[in-house]
Amino acid sequence: MKRPSRNLNRQRTPQQLVRSALRAWDTDRGWSAVVEMQVRASLLLLDLVRSLCASRSWRRRALGLHVASQLQRRRRSGMGGAMEYALDARQALLLAGLMDSHSGVVCAAVSGLGHRPHPDALETLVVLARHADSAMRWNVAVSLGCYQDPAAIGALIQLATDVDSDVRDWATFGLGTLQNADTPGLREVLWRNLNDEDEDVRGEALVGLAARQDLRVIDHLLAQLGPECRVYQLDAAEQLASPLLLPALQALADGLQGSEREGYWFGCLQSAVEACSPALAPDSLG
């Protein structure tokens, strides 16, 4: 029997984890070292992060910001979750990172300010939404969803029409799901992206419109509720909770057999059926 491998990072010192992260830069091994540091919050580790952020090496500065972005204290076994640590000090490091001379460090700061938003970052994030590097724009798109502000919405609308499909995907998700606003401009870009060439962009646009109870998507959704539909369509149906969708959803459920009637996708289908039929008996899906 194959035994699970030990997490060797648990036995490593912070300095060893730093070396591991730098040697395996931007790989799964490197990121696992970063994650281990992120749950070891202490004054000593915060001092180490500060020294990394002040390094002459851009990779060390970026590493410091990646650790700072989610630095927490691991709870004792059985207590669940992790405890926030020194948020103000960490946000100060991230804000300073936005002004760094190397784009890799700025990207790390942008990413971190999505995990730990700060209103003082918004103006710079909006400017960076027009950056020439698609990786920078992607990080901005991911982060801006956490900022409930008209300026953030305007930048996300711009990014939702980006030439890069990954940027459009995250910007559409930010607009449709993370943002609470409902403006004509926001709906217009969601409708545009409903016909995007990228399937994930189309799906995020559909969910966003359904969340805003835009009943015009019902016909669009009915055409997609078949055996090949994805969770996007089922989530949108649940959001709309329209009885008009019930026959298509029920037909989809009735056509499933065996192992098809289990798992996450089937759970989403159940939720959609229940939402569209409040009087549904608990055993209607078998």
pLDDT tens per residue, range 151-180: 999 999 999 999 999 999 999 999 999 999
Helical ranges in 39-121 per DSSP H = 43-53, 58-69, 87-97, 103-115
pLDDT at 55: 98
pLDDT at 6: 55
pLDDT at 77: 59
DSSP label at residue 40: B
Average pLDDT over residues 140-157: 96
Assign 10 a pLDDT band (cuts: 50, 70, 90).
confident
Q: Compute the distance between CA of residue 73 and CA of residue 44 in angstroms, rounded to an integer.
A: 13
Average pLDDT over residues 119-145: 97
Q: What is the pLDDT of residues 103-120, one digit of tens each?
A: 999 999 999 999 999 999
The answer, yes or no, to whether residue 181 has pLDDT greater than 90, is: yes
Assign 73 a pLDDT band (cuts: 50, 70, 90).
confident
The answer, yes or no, to whether residue 206 has pLDDT greater than 80, is: yes
pLDDT at 219: 94
Give every CB contact of residue 39 below 8 A, 6+ residues apart in sequence: 72, 73, 74, 82
pTM: 0.89
Contact of 212 with 182, CB cutoff 8 Å: yes
Q: Which of 242, 253, 246 is nearest to 209 (CA)?
A: 242
Sign of the alpha-carbon dihedral angle for 267, 273, 276, 278: negative
The answer, yes or no, to whether residue 12 has pLDDT greater than 80, is: yes
pLDDT at 79: 52
Contact of 245 with 272, CB cutoff 8 Å: yes
The answer, yes or no, to whether residue 39 has pLDDT greater than 70, is: yes
- Which amino acid belongs to residue 284? S
Q: Which residue has the higher pLDDT, 179 or 260?
A: 179
Q: What is the pLDDT of residues 224-256, one digit of tens each?
A: 999 999 999 999 999 999 999 999 999 999 999
The answer, yes or no, to whether residue 143 has pLDDT greater than 60, is: yes
Q: Compute the distance between CA of residue 7 and CA of residue 85 in angstroms, rounded to an integer.
A: 23
Average pLDDT over residues 117-146: 97
* 74: β partners: 82
Q: State whether residue 132 is helix, strand or coil.
A: coil
Distance of CA 86 to the CA centre of its chain: 23
